[in-house]
Amino acid sequence: MPPELENNVGITTIDALYNWAKSNSVWPLGFATACCGIEMIATVTPRFDISRFGSEVFRATPRQADLMIVAGTITKKMAPVVKLLYEQMPEPKWVIAMGACAVAGGVFNECYSVVDGVDRLIPVDVFIPGCPPRPEAVIHGLMQLQKKIRTESMLDRQERIARHLAYQKELSDEATRRHLGDDTKLQLPGLPT
Amino acid sequence: MSDEDKKATPEAGTEAGPTRDAPTGDAPTGDAGPITEAGSTKEATVAAAPAPAPAVPKAPAKPAAPPLELSPAGKALADAVAGLGFDLGEARPDSWGNPTFEVAPDRLVDLGTALKAKLGLSYLACLAPLDWPDRWEVAYHLYDFERKTWLALKTRIPKDQVQIPSVTPLWPAANWYEREGYDMYGVEFAGHPHLARLLMSDDWQTFPLRKDHPMDLEGGY
Amino acid sequence: MSGLNMIEVRTEEMVLNMGPHHPSTHGVLRLVLTLDGEIIRSCSPVIGYLHRGMEKLAENRTFVQYPGIIDRYEYLTAMFTGVLYSMSAEKIAGIEVPEKAVWMRMIMMELNRIASHLFWLGTYMLDLGANGLLFYALREREMILNLFEEVCGARLLYSYACVGGVRFPNSPTFEKHCREFLKLFPDRIKDYEAIVTDNPVFLERVDGVGVFDRQACLDYGVSGPPLRSVGVKKDLRKDNPSLFYDQVAFDVPIGTRGDTLDRYLLRIEEMRQSVRIIEQCLDRMPAEGAYKAKVPAVIKVPPGEVYFALESPRGELGAYMVTNNADKCYRLKLRCPSYNHTQFLPVAIVGQKVSDVMAIFGSLDVILPEVDR
């Protein structure tokens, strides 16, 4: 290396560079169903300020989002919508299950209308327990996700997608039977007459 | 307002005559056992109604419920309702002093029309069906802006019958409450404009709030 | 001109689906709108996407367990729901609540009213396209949450009230911190008003928009600020006082025009009145005394029924409770203002422009878990 470039050039892998960029600009989908959504909004406010981690850009549409923070209870009526939203997100995508309800149904676990955890529907990367989790916990969960993103490799991406698809197929077989009845209900129910 | 008044007054007047002895006259024709009982023993129902819960053992050393009495506003409203000429019996207070009246299902709409036209009770605060072991019960809570109190109407139908007249034409607020009642209990409100599932999805099969419905539905529905 | 053939333009009505995932519905409401150009011809709300079986849970959880769960029913005003449930049970069982606990409940409820209105203010401005005020409003809300945290350790769902009183004693520094907040807060309201109330862009969006009809409001059971905006003076704190609301002085503002601006102004004024109430409560609260009545570990409520209601920030928050001499209620029907407001929404927005839907819907301050339960 020529001596004049010694202090100006760094050597790294593409993976490291790519992951560094990815992990610091995780744009979440503003998907709030219940109480946890309020704490998710509180995370954006100056006291906690999630923008320190590059994730303040809450998108309204799943097509522009990388991360789905499932904040709140998922009911059986809502389940097809959650699946649809997840499938509309472009790869690479991650999911955080925020709060006891999204993790395992929470206090509503026994209820007839509640899905016992969002991982019955879509693959989840980070679980944040709490009812509701404090904003600090959300930020901690995000940092855990960033850590996970930094370990990924571009070469594994195909494998990751394949794994997701396989998981989803397995889930949809099981979950649709359990929660949704049959495949036809995966579409949004029609307009009321 | 005055138009409605004029229209409703003769109607209510003519209705009040024949229906006055309806509870005793009607009941024997249908096999509505609980209704006859309810119609004749109005005062005993507070104590008697909650009794049929076989699962709960009677706890002897319990602090008894405090004696119930109507609030002054509730008393005034109960007197006004009694003045309408429907033979409703004596008002029963609930624990906050609001008057409660029992009414037979076939006189519910007549009574509601009279209440709305003559006493101005156009504000339906709450509508709640109940599932008792021997009967369905629907409680209507109306708010009186003049006397600042609620009026509760209660109507009951036997278990094998799930038809009850709808009050949505009278109080539009009842629309969703009745749909929810159908959704949760399977009670059918006859005359409702659009009696469909409200909270559960359209293809849901069961009536979740019935007492024989389990809390958890393992393995879907 | 006469030689020109007018081209016949045929328009078709368009069905537009909003939700259940929509940033402005504050939850999971779905609206199916039929549009003729920009005018809304019909609207049918689809609810139930957050139906969690609250009423079924009430029949399966004891009087000790359920106050913790009912907070989730109305999470922005969790203090109210806990008090509502506890007081319904206390009315039936005839449990006397110590004086100090009543004052504490009132302080917490009024603080919660301010917090709820602040959250509404921030998110409503967000709906109207003003991002900035969310940060101001939630800054003050965090101060209130600090007070709550000091007393019961939670930010959002407090489990504060329980049958017989409140669950936690007062922290020694609570009164000092609370008074500091009350001293500072009226100035902050002036700040919001300086930013918003006379802002021409804001006025353009709300002034004269969504004028409600008085009789329609009564027919549909609308309550709270939307009902007061059409000039009906119904505030359960004045009309059917529970707790010690009959012993404190405060005013109930009512509107004259019934439009969206009125509902905004009412909520701002209500925050000022809440400050007044809290100050009086702090003055009159006894320093010593029990914060909880002596109730057995397993609470059994004798047979009875009650319809009990509180004036929550959204309106008449009621509960119809039937008990059965058991440790659970036999039936709990939750009467929620947002339910009626959502039902009223089609009446309010048919004939309006589609861009005003969120301005009107936001002004009703609907919160979805309350609708779906």
User: Which among C342, C336, C304 has a CA at the least distance from the CA of C318?
Assistant: C336
Give chains near C: 3+ CB pairs under 8 A: A, B
CA distance C50 to B132: 27
Neighbours of B44 (CB within 10 A): 12
Q: What is the pLDDT of residues A70-113, one digit of tens each?
A: 888 888 888 888 888 888 888 788 899 998 888 888 888 888 88
Chain A residues with beta carbon closer than 8 angstroms to that of B203: 181, 185, 189
Report ipTM (2 d.p.). 0.86
Helix (H, G, I), strand (E, B) or coil at B28: coil
Q: Say whether pLDDT at A191 is over 50.
A: no
Identify from A111, A114, A136, A188 which residue to disrupt to test chain C contact, counting C C-beta atoms within 10 A and taking the largest count.
A111
- Any chains having at least 3 CB pairs less than 8 A from chain A are B, C
What is the pLDDT, as a whole number, of residue C27? 75
Q: Let me know the angle formed at the C-alpha of B218 by B216 and B219, rounded to the nearest 5 degrees.
A: 145
Are B173 and C220 contacting, i.e. CB atoms less than 8 angstroms apart?
A: yes
Of the partner residues B173, B197, B215, the one whose CB lies closest to the CB of residue C60: B215
* Among candidates B47, B131, B173 on the partner chain, residue whose Cβ is nearest the Cβ of C340: B173
Q: What is the mean pLDDT of residues C275-302?
A: 85
Decide if B46 and C304 are in contact by the 8 Å CB cutoff.
yes
**Predicted confidence (pLDDT) at residue C311 exceeds the cutoff of 60:** yes
Q: What was the pLDDT predicted at A12?
A: 83
Cα separation of the two ends of chain A? 73
Q: Looking at the predicted structure, is the pLDDT value of residue B8 above 50?
A: no
Min mean pLDDT across A1-15, B48-62, C210-224, C246-260 is at B48-62
* Averaged pLDDT, C45-49: 87
Lookup result for tokens 């629907």:
B138
Judged on CB neighbours under 10 Å (0-12, 13-18, 19+), C197 is middle
Q: Which 8-state DSSP code applies to residue A179?
A: I
- CA A105 to chain CA centroid, Å, is 17
Residue C21 contacts A where some CB pair is shorter than 8 Å: yes
Cβ distance A181 to B219 less than 8 Å, yes or no, reads: no
Q: Which of residues 125-154 of B touch C (CB under 8 A)?
A: 125-126, 128, 130-131, 139, 141, 143, 145, 148-150, 152
Helix/strand/coil for C124: helix
Mean pLDDT taken over chain C: 87
Is the pLDDT confidence value at A187 over 50? Answer: no
Q: How many CB atoms lie within 10 A of CB C286?
A: 9
Are residues C50 and A72, on separate chains, in Cβ contact within 8 Å? Answer: yes
Residue B151 belongs to what H/E stretch?
A: strand B149-158
Residue type, B10: P
* Region for residue C352 given its phi and psi (left: phi exceeds 0; alpha: psi -120 to 50; beta: otherwise): beta
Q: b or e along B194-203 (b: 16 or more beta carbons within 10 Å of the residue's beta carbon)?
A: ebebbbbbee
What does the pLDDT look like over C104-139, one tens digit per residue?
899 999 999 999 999 999 888 888 888 888 888 888
Using CA atoms, how far residue C82 sits from A24, C86, C91, in Å, is 41, 6, 14
What is residue A177's predicted lDDT score, i.e. its pLDDT? 53
Q: How far apart are CA C116 and CA C367, in angstroms?
A: 11
The CA distance from C306 to C329, in Å, is 11
Top mean-pLDDT range of A25-34, B25-34, C270-279: C270-279
Structure token pair of residue C37: 């150009």
Using DSSP's 3-state secondary structure scheme, residue A45 falls into coil
Lowest mean pLDDT among B34-38, C105-109, C275-279: B34-38
pLDDT value of residue C114: 92
Q: Is A125 helix (H, G, I), strand (E, B) or coil?
A: coil
Q: Is the dihedral of CA C17, C18, C22, C27 positive or negative?
A: negative
- Interface touch A81/C51, C-beta < 8 Å: no
pTM: 0.82
**Confidence grade of residue C324 (pLDDT, cut at 50, 70, 90):** confident
Q: Which residues does chain B have within 8 Å of residue C348's beta carbon, measured at their own beta carbons?
A: none
Q: How confident is the model at residue C4 (pLDDT cuts 50, 70, 90)?
A: low
Distance of residue A54 Cα from the nearest chain B Cα, in angstroms? 38
* Average predicted confidence (pLDDT) for chain B: 71
pLDDT of A128 reads: 92
Evaluate the omega torsion of the peptide bond into residue C346 and state whether it is cis, within 30 degrees of 0: no
pLDDT of residue B67 exceeding 60: yes
Residues in chain B: 221
Distance CA A109, CA C278 (A): 38
Q: Distance between CA atoms of A84 and A76, rounded to whole angstroms?
A: 14
- Taking the CA of residue B205 and the nearest CA in chain A, the distance in Å comes to 11
Tens digits of per-residue pLDDT, A144-167? Answer: 999 888 888 877 777 777 777 776
> For residue A156, how many other CB atoms are within 10 A of its CB?
12
What's the rounded mean pLDDT across residues B199-210? Answer: 83
Q: What is the pLDDT of residue B19?
A: 35
Helix (H) or strand (E) holding B100: strand B99-102
Q: What are the tens digits of pLDDT across the range A22-78?
A: 888 889 988 888 888 888 888 888 888 888 888 888 888 888 888 998 888 888 888
Name the residue among B202, B215, B219 with its Cβ closest to that of A111.
Answer: B215
User: What pLDDT does B63 receive?
Assistant: 55
* CATH architecture, range A14-182: 3-Layer(aba) Sandwich (3.40)
Residue from A112, A114, A120 to probe the interface with B (highest B Cβ count within 10 Å): A112
**Interchain proximity A108–C44, CB inside 8 Å:** no
Which residues 6+ apart lie within 8 Å of C170 measured at CB?
C104, C151, C291
Return the C-alpha torsion angle B118, B122, B126, B127, nearest 10.
70
Beta bridge partners of C16: C33
User: Smallest Cα–Cα separation from B157: which of B142, B141, B177, B138?
Assistant: B138
- How many CB atoms are closer than 10 A to CB C115? 28
- Delimit the domains of chain A by residue range: 14-182
Per-residue pLDDT tens digits for C70-89: 888 888 888 899 899 999 98
- The one-character DSSP state at A176 is I
Distance, CA of C66 to CA of C323 (rounded, Å): 14
Instruction: Indicate if the pLDDT at residue B33 is higher than 70.
Output: no
Q: Which helix (H) or strand (E) holds A163?
A: helix A157-175
Chain A positions touching B215 (Cβ under 8 A) are: 110-112
CA distances (Å), A140 to each of A96, A146, B167, C48, C274, in order?
11, 10, 53, 32, 36
